[in-house]
Amino acid sequence: MAEDIKNIIEEGALIVDVRTKEEYEQGHIPGSLNIPLDEIGKAMEWLQKDVPVVLVCASGNRSSHAVMVLKANGFEKVYNGGSWDSLGDIKAGGCPVR
């Protein structure tokens, strides 16, 4: 699964870290976007539904919840990347928004 996630990221997926701002500031994937879980609803206004999104957090629990929320609102290309630090030295690409 981790290899699949890495391939999805390498093909241009947006990485969204759903941890709090404070957690994100303590360490994160370079190039990732911080949208705390409690703000994911607002982010749906500008996230592009046709751009793959890999969601990460500290353990995979919050990112799993964010995947369910996005899928329930019409986002199809959303993936749970689990713990942000489990992805090693991967680097995110750009941040496409509408």
Catalytic residue among 15, 47, 57, 78: 57
Question: How many separate domains does the chain show?
Answer: 1
Render pLDDT for 4-41 as a digit per residue (tens, 0 to 9): 898 899 888 999 999 999 999 999 999 899 999 999 99
Token couple for 21: 């701002």
Residue 91 inside a domain? The answer is no
Does 80 or 90 have the greater pLDDT score? 80
> Domain range holding 56?
2-84
**pLDDT exceeds cutoff 50 at 98:** no
58: phi then psi, degrees, rounded to nearest 5: -80, -40
Band (43; pLDDT cuts 50, 70, 90): very high
Residue 57 known to be catalytic: yes
Residue 62 confidence (pLDDT) = 98
Residue 97 inside a domain? The answer is no
What's 17's domain CATH number?
3.40.250.10
Render pLDDT for 49-65 as a digit per residue (tens, 0 to 9): 999 999 999 999 999 99
